[in-house]
Amino acid sequence: MVIDVHHHISRDWREFMPKLRDKCSELGIDMVALCTTCTENLQLYEAMQVHGDFMLALGNIAIGEEGPRAVDELRSRGFHGIKLIRPIVDYDDDLCMPVYERAAMYNMPILFHLGIVAADRTNDPLRDVSMARMRPVHLDRIARKFPMLKLIGAHLGNPWYEEAAEVARMHPNVYFDLTGSTMKKKSPAYLDDLFWWHKNEQYGRMGDNHPYDKILFGTDVGLDMLEDVMDDHRVFMDHVEMSEEHRAAIWGGTTAKIFGLEE
């Protein structure tokens, strides 16, 4: 199974979803995890009623502003997980912990936007947005407090790549996708160096996870760029002479485990 763990739904989902399904069918993508903004959770829910066989719904919560009841609401509607972005506090602030505790109780994975975020000249001044609140290091405290909660960091923490890789190495419940500009501005050799512990058995045991078990395939691009992103993954896999087992895990096997899709 090939699963895109990071994609965004269009507001006009009735027109968008058939196009997405057709493109994914063409490329051999079996399922897509779709996320949105808080104001568009309803559209995501509506799309899930029609395309539930194809999509995983990641509802958005305004972290730092909404509490665990927001998690309750998403779960009651059948959402599979949570997407967080643009927090008003650091992701690991005490204010956020009740949300993570509730998500852990429900076994709802969380996709965290990390690092650089698109500028919004209208809303950024009002929300006091800062990429520093979305550093991968903030996942460290969350992973320690809630070891059963599955945490997915987007974009390998761009630009804090080394920080993200070390968080992945330490915590069995932390994963990263390589979406965004990461695979364009960083070479396969650079990524191979980031995941250095697959070459060192002693240090690799510290987190008890092979690095290729921590990478999830995702796109986070428009339909016209999906194939290009898949090609970038193949180039990296070929560069490191990755085994078929680990390729299958990245393409969707690990994501299936995270979301309980295994047969």
Residue 66 has pLDDT above 80, yes or no: yes
Question: Would you say 33 and 254 are in contact if contact means Cβ atoms under 8 Å apart?
Answer: no
- In the sheet that holds 174-177, the strands lie side by side as 3-8, 31-35, 55-60, 81-84, 110-112, 151-153, 174-177, 215-216
The three-point CA angle 40-84-28 to 5° equals 75
Output b/e per residue, 218-238; b: 16+ Cβ within 10 A: bbbbebeebeebbebbeebbe
pLDDT grade for 118, boundaries at 50, 70 and 90: confident
CA gap 64, 99 in Å, rounded: 9
Listed by start position, the domains of the chain span 3-258
Closest CA to 103 of 63, 154, 54, 51: 63
pTM of the model: 0.95
CA gap 62, 172 in Å, rounded: 26
Q: CB within 8 A of 201, min separation 6: which ones? A: none
Residue 105 CA, chain-centre distance (Å), reads 19
**81-90, 137-146, 206-215, 231-240: which range is least confident on average?**
206-215
CA gap 163, 23 in Å, rounded: 34
Task: Specify the fold of 3-258.
Answer: TIM Barrel (3.20.20)
Give the residue-averaged pLDDT of 59-71: 96
Residues 226-240 pLDDT 10s: 999 999 999 999 999
Residue 58 has pLDDT above 80, yes or no: yes
Give the residue-averaged pLDDT of 107-114: 98
